[in-house]
Amino acid sequence: MNWWEETVFYEIYMPSFNDSNQDGIGDFRGITGKIDYLKELGIGGIWLTPYYPSPKVDNGYDISDYFSIDPIYGNWEDFNLFIKKAHDANIRVIVDLVVNHTSDEHTWFIESRSSHNNPKRDWYIWRKQPNNWESFFGGSAWTLDENTKAYYYHSFSEKQVDLNWTHSEVKQAIFEVIDFWIDKGIDGFRLDVINNLSTSCSFKDNPYDEEGKQIHLNDVNQPGILEAIKSIEEHVKKRNSSLFTVGEISSDRLDLIEQYAGPDLLDVTFNFNFGSLEKLDIDEMFLQLKQMKETYQENRYPTLFFGSHDMPRFWNRLASKDLRVYQLLAALLLTSRGVPFIYYGDELGTGDFVPHSLEEIKDIQAINRYHDEKNKNKTDQAALLEANKVNRDRSRASIQWWDKKQDHSWIGFAKKNPDEKQIFQWFKQLLALRKKYYRAIYDYQILNKENDLIYYQLGKVVVLLNFGKKTKLDNKWGNLDMLLSNGKVQVSNEQIIITDKTTWIGKVRV
């Protein structure tokens, strides 16, 4: 049994989690100060977003040095203390590894752009003339370098330059980065946009859909991508077979996402088909659960999440600020089959931060959208409205902890929930229940839906999630003992009556 199969992970967005020195930026000492809090909650694993030196064009996902810690987050003593305290609390740590691209301020790229003959020239992707590929942040994915009169490729910001994974030296350099952090005591890696690796030299133009929007057909999921990922996985597992790998696949298509996990590939991948639903849709949610059940069998697992640093808070997006719906979603997240990821603040019902001016926006994606809209002669207010639709700052703001008052933040403060203590206790109970009763080998004995009631059984645990009005359900289990509930439920040998927007979790009596 792998440790990660029975672990609930907690994503920490580094600059926003907990600020120990009141400079407005979260840091390692701040995280260390919350280890007891996370242990009380029941967390078994922490995922850290990038903490490496970076110009912060994309808030740290533009790395300028893979082998250091950005001083704004602390020093090596702070890092080592954090790792020790986490491990002492039986909490493992995985870290973000961005190997699709580096910052344009990385020494590798500085050398690469210095001349056509530099040994690192082909560590990145250069062309005399660009093709039609567009950046995922808007505009062309090619930028002219005036020094060498050639175009370099960047699938995101022009300050995030894509590495050339057809070059053997690039792969070896990344392996050295992996080894460095393994030696520092980390327990695994989250691989950022890993299916964007450039592993082909064909550079065919991308097609467009009927509305004129580019289809990213040839710039992602390229030929050779699975071989590249297998080589990364092989290297990691040779160092330590217990190390955990989770990949971000830039797609919400289950058939594509699942291809990247399995024997010799990543341990798991993020299931955006489920986690990134834009609004609460019970039918769609249940459909995705069924499809994941059918797809992930025989020691393969989906991931479960409703929040991350790339999407609005699910208090706003899915629950629409309804406490009972939020509790239902939390129960679904933490009682379904898969590997759950909680985003920092989810356990407090944290709400969105909404910037009210361009000056308050930190996200490069939203800034680019704002300027695109202004170029269409939109008003400032209209441009801001469009920018906030794609603004990832909504979920990246700083937490205002109930045990202290912070004066300022690098970005602004997330919306506090007046019921945060109640929500915390709900999450704590769910995590304790999962730890006591769940085993990763369990599959759904039952997974069904009647109207707006989703219900399922894993092992001896029965979960009833009624997102709709009061309803009745035939009792398929006989004698049941209640483990956790937040509403009125009547259980007899014949039927179960469950009130509206109610969670009920029980155990089959042996």
Q: Where are the domains of the chain?
A: 3-101+168-356+415-437, 108-153, 444-508
Report which of residues 101 and 404 the model is more confident about: 101
pLDDT for 406 beyond 80: no
Ramachandran angles phi, psi of 497, nearest 5°: -110, 120
The 10s digit of each residue's pLDDT in 263-322 is 999 999 999 999 999 999 999 999 999 999 999 988 899 999 999 999 999 999 999 999
Note whether 3-101+168-356+415-437 and 108-153 share their fold: no
The 10s digit of each residue's pLDDT in 365-381 is 999 999 999 999 999 99
The 10s digit of each residue's pLDDT in 444-491 is 999 999 999 999 999 999 999 999 999 999 999 999 999 999 999 999
DSSP E strands: which ranges in 119-262? 126-127, 142-145, 150-153, 160-162, 188-191, 244-247
Confidence of residue 430 (pLDDT cuts 50, 70, 90): very high
pLDDT number for residue 441: 67
Strands in 339-343's sheet, in edge-to-edge order, are 268-269, 244-247, 188-191, 92-97, 45-48, 9-12, 339-343, 303-304
DSSP E strands: which ranges in 51-159? 92-97, 101-103, 126-127, 142-145, 150-153
State how far the Cα of 107 lies from the Cα of 68, in Å rounded to an integer. 13
CB 351 within 8 A of CB 417: yes
pLDDT for 77 beyond 80: yes
Cβ partners under 8 Å of residue 388, min gap 6 = 354, 355, 366, 394
Among candidates 89, 4, 106, which has minimal Cα distance to 47?
4
State how far the Cα of 325 lies from the Cα of 341, in Å rounded to an integer. 19
Confidence of residue 54 (pLDDT cuts 50, 70, 90): very high
Return the CATH architecture of domain 444-508: Sandwich (2.60)
Tokens 């250069």 -> residue: 126
pLDDT number for residue 187: 98
Q: What are the distances in angstroms from CA 353 to CA 124, 134, 412, 419, 432? A: 36, 29, 7, 17, 30
Q: What are the distances in angstroms from CA 285 to CA 281, 305, 447, 448, 453? A: 6, 12, 12, 12, 12
- Per-residue pLDDT averaged across 95-102, rounded? 98
pLDDT number for residue 438: 87
> For the CA atoms of the chain, what is the radius of gyration?
23
Tokens 């997240």 -> residue: 333
State how far the Cα of 118 lies from the Cα of 109, in Å rounded to an integer. 10
Confidence of residue 228 (pLDDT cuts 50, 70, 90): very high
Cβ partners under 8 Å of residue 48, min gap 6 = 12, 14, 31, 93, 94, 95, 96
pLDDT number for residue 482: 96
- Give the homologous superfamily in CATH for domain 108-153: Oligo-1,6-glucosidase; Domain 2 (3.90.400.10)
pLDDT for 192 beyond 70: yes
Tell me what the pLDDT averaged over the chain comes to.
96
CA 416 to chain centre: 22
The angle formed by the CA atoms of residues 52, 55 and 59, to the nearest 5 degrees, is 70
Exposed (0-12), middle (13-18) or buried (19+): which is 148, by Cβ within 10 Å?
middle
Tokens 């300027």 -> residue: 371
pLDDT number for residue 298: 81
pLDDT number for residue 403: 61
Among candidates 267, 251, 324, 250, which has minimal Cα distance to 498?
324
- Residues with active-site annotation: 192, 248
State how far the Cα of 56 lies from the Cα of 103, in Å rounded to an integer. 9
For a pLDDT cut of 90, what percent of the chain falls above it?
Answer: 95
- Give the homologous superfamily in CATH for domain 3-101+168-356+415-437: Glycosidases (3.20.20.80)
Q: What are the distances in angstroms from CA 16 to CA 22, 35, 83, 218, 358? A: 12, 16, 19, 36, 20
Confidence of residue 1 (pLDDT cuts 50, 70, 90): confident
CB 84 within 8 A of CB 93: no
pLDDT for 404 beyond 90: no
- Per-residue pLDDT averaged across 229-234, rounded? 98
CB 155 within 8 A of CB 100: yes
pLDDT for 190 beyond 70: yes
Among candidates 95, 94, 74, 72, which has minimal Cα distance to 32?
74
